[in-house]
Amino acid sequence: MSESYEKIKTHFPSARIKKLMQSDEDIGKVAQATPVVVGRALELFLCSLVEKSCHEARENGSRRITSSHIKSAVTKTEEFDFCVEIVEKYGGGGNHSSSNNGAISN
């Protein structure tokens, strides 16, 4: 799994993260390194979520990740417990059809 983390090429813009953080009235000044660290944490979180969802899709014979695969990954993985309410509310409507239209790359 650590190989995937090293392959991350997409980075979240620090200025946007800082702006989002400062939109909260309770947050005052933000240290320069904070948005960079938050961005990296976001990248690692998403990488882990995609890998777990990819595993769920493969277990179901699918080559495409659907919202139901993400929901399944979140509900089966303890580290994603904080996301359970979100996927219950918004995710999981899709089916686990075995489609060859979109390949999952690793």
In the chain, the domains with their CATH numbers are: 2-90 (1.10.20.10)
52-97 tens-digit pLDDT: 999 999 999 999 999 899 999 999 999 999 999 988 887 655 444 4
Q: Taking a C-beta distance cutoff of 8 angstroms, is the pair 79, 32 a contact?
A: no
pLDDT at position 41 over 90:
yes
Query: What value does the mean pLDDT take over residues 26-53?
Result: 92
d(CA 11, CA 36): 9
Q: Taking a C-beta distance cutoff of 8 angstroms, is the pair 66, 35 a contact?
A: no
13-25 tens-digit pLDDT: 999 999 999 999 8
Q: What phi and psi, each to the nearest 5 degrees, are found at residue 7?
A: -85, -5
